[in-house]
Amino acid sequence: MTRWEVFKQDTVGKPYQAVGSVHAADAQHALLTAAHVFARRPSAHSLWVVPADSINSRTAQELATREVQDMGSTADAVTGTVRDEGSREQPYHVFRKSSHRRSMTFVDHVGTLEATSPAAALDRAMAEAPDAAQALAWWVVPAAAVTASSEADAASWFEPAKDKTYKQQSLYGAGPGGSSRRNP
Amino acid sequence: MADARTLSAALQAPLVARLTAMADDELVLGHRNAEWTGHAPLLEEDIALANLAQDEIGHAITWYGLRSAIDGSDPDQLVYFRDAPDFLNAWLVELPRGDWAFTMLRQYLFDAYECELLARLARSTYEPLAQAAVKVGREELFHLRHSSLWLERLAHGTTESKERLLRAMATAWPLLPQLLAPMTGAAELHAAGIWPDPSELRDAVVARTRSALEGVGLTVGPLSPASGLTDHRGTHPAHLDEVLANLQSVARADPEAVQW
């Protein structure tokens, strides 16, 4: 069964962030299970799912090696989305991980650009980012591989979570000495 | 608009029974769904079913709460200390969880019923009910999307998934009328604008579900015109005892406990 990477946008204007993955039969099923698994608690405004094999990933360590010179063709072979010798431009979403903080998420969406291949998209993104050398990892995703939750569904998919407060164990009065207290 | 203080005395008993039936439906279905925890075919669906179960039980708390505002009853007492004959849930929700096809088909039928019912209750003249219906209805749309998606995939999946769905239909479909049957006082509640007309609701739910089921290629048998027209709630096949034994055992082990 296909593995899908899930990207969550917490509120309008915030970047989509990679939150984890789900296994599902198809994109719509992936979106639904992603909502169950990753949007049960506040907050979420929108979800994207992308087949895991459409993600072109490069870590800082990988970029520091010589293999980086060949990654364009490697990435193309992996995605299967750019088969025409990389000659046609298409939109790519670029994500990066910039720090080790917020370990519950991996990469953040940093921009969308037109390029002829994932490698070309990454080259441009790195050239345009003044602090590219500080990035820990990059993901490049063909925009065509993204399936997004619909704006119209937000009220039924994400709003109810705002009423579901997470209850800590202490709320139930359970714990040492707390068992089976009786009415006086 | 009415609320618990201004509700006429004659309408209290029918509304209390109606809210109890609704709460009991959600409670029992929630517990049946919870039985999938650790057993669902996919980890993601295991989490999804646990979510659905929590949501349905959360809705039950809402409806018991509306009842409590009318008669001062304690929802915990209702859930943990009533015996099966006092539960007003429909047969459909108390059947064992069966296989995945049965669970998803039952969930679909219940979600479709609730979406139609809640859309009407959102216009109820009983204000607390109208407000709750809007809130619960929002979440039920998400449930309906989930169960509809599975209905489609089971119907168009493999020979086995289709066969399982057909077997589930043979059990679940004939129970739909009982879920939709009017209860005592239905005419008065409808006349007061508190609850929708049961026959109009029944036609809408049957038309919607029949069209969806036929839309995925299932042959849907006729429902007897008479079936479900009398109020059968309050009688139960043996299954409810099994649910309650599990649900109530801890609370009944120490009825005086106020904290665990």
Beta pairing class for A90-97 and A108-115 = antiparallel
Residues of chain B contacting residue A157, judged by C-beta atoms under 8 Å apart: 142
Which DSSP symbol is given to A115?
E
B111 or B224: which leads in pLDDT: B111
Of A157, A163, A181, the CB nearest to B258: A181
Residues of chain B contacting residue A22, judged by C-beta atoms under 8 Å apart: 44
Tell me the shortest Cα–Cα distance from A82 to chain B, in angstroms: 30
Q: What is the pLDDT of residues B5-31, one digit of tens each?
A: 899 999 999 999 999 999 999 999 999
Confidence of residue B225 (pLDDT cuts 50, 70, 90): low
Q: A107, A17 in Cβ contact below 8 A?
A: yes
| pLDDT averaged over every residue in chain A | 84
Q: What is the pLDDT of residues B123-179, one digit of tens each?
A: 999 999 999 999 999 999 999 999 999 999 999 999 999 999 999 999 999 999 999
* Mutation site for B-interface testing, chosen from A26, A32, A47 by largest number of B Cβ within 10 Å: A32
Instruction: Search chain B and give the residue with CA nearest A157.
Output: B142
Q: Is pLDDT above 70 for A174?
A: no
Q: Is pLDDT above 80 for B258?
A: no
**Cβ–Cβ of B256/A163 closer than 8 Å?**
no
* Mutation site for B-interface testing, chosen from A19, A31, A37 by largest number of B Cβ within 10 Å: A37
Q: Is pLDDT above 80 for B227?
A: no
Tell me the shortest Cα–Cα distance from B171 to chain A, in angstroms: 26
Q: What is the pLDDT of residues A60-69, one digit of tens each?
A: 988 888 554 5
Q: Is pLDDT above 90 for A184?
A: no
Q: Distance of alpha carbon A66 from its chain centroid, rounded?
A: 27
**Which positions ≥6 away from B245 have C-beta within 8 Å?**
none
Burial per residue of A95-115, b for 16 or more beta-carbon CB atoms within 10 angstroms, e otherwise: bbbeeeeeeebbbbbbeebeb
pLDDT at residue B68, as a whole number:
98
pLDDT at residue B233, as a whole number:
84
Measured CB to CB, residues of chain B less than 8 Å from chain A are 42-45, 47-48, 51, 55, 58, 135, 138-142, 145-146, 149, 153, 254, 256-260
Tell me the shortest Cα–Cα distance from B92 to chain A, in angstroms: 25
Summarize the confidence of residues A140-169 as an average pLDDT. Answer: 89
**Cβ–Cβ of B258/A29 closer than 8 Å?**
no
Supply the ipTM of this predicted assembly.
0.88
Chain B interface includes A65 (CB < 8 A): no
Tell me the shortest Cα–Cα distance from A173 to chain B, in angstroms: 7
Tell me the shortest Cα–Cα distance from B47 to chain A, in angstroms: 7
Of B45, B141, B149, the CB nearest to A28: B149
Q: In degrees to the nearest 10, what's the CA dihedral of A122, A128, A132, A133?
A: 100
User: What predicted TM-score, i.e. pTM, was given to this entire model?
Assistant: 0.89
Residues of chain A contacting residue B48, judged by C-beta atoms under 8 Å apart: 32-33, 36-37
Summarize the confidence of residues B195-219 as an average pLDDT. Answer: 95
Confidence of residue B226 (pLDDT cuts 50, 70, 90): low
Summarize the confidence of residues B92-111 as an average pLDDT. Answer: 97
**Cβ–Cβ of B44/A178 closer than 8 Å?**
no
pLDDT at residue A86, as a whole number:
52
Tell me the shortest Cα–Cα distance from B209 to chain A, in angstroms: 20
Which is nearest to A110 in space by CA: A86, A134, A85, A89? Answer: A134
Which tokens go with B119? 């859309």
**Cβ–Cβ of A156/B141 closer than 8 Å?**
yes
Residues of chain A contacting residue B140, judged by C-beta atoms under 8 Å apart: 156
pLDDT at residue A75, as a whole number:
45
Beta bridge partner(s), residue A58: A138
Summarize the confidence of residues A42-64 as an average pLDDT. Answer: 92
* Mutation site for A-interface testing, chosen from B45, B54, B143 by largest number of A Cβ within 10 Å: B45
Q: Is pLDDT above 60 for A51?
A: yes
**Cβ–Cβ of A37/B42 closer than 8 Å?**
no
Confidence of residue A165 (pLDDT cuts 50, 70, 90): confident
Q: B12, B71 in Cβ contact below 8 A?
A: yes
Residue that is written with structure tokens 């066969």 in the block: B163
Tell me the shortest Cα–Cα distance from B48 to chain A, in angstroms: 5
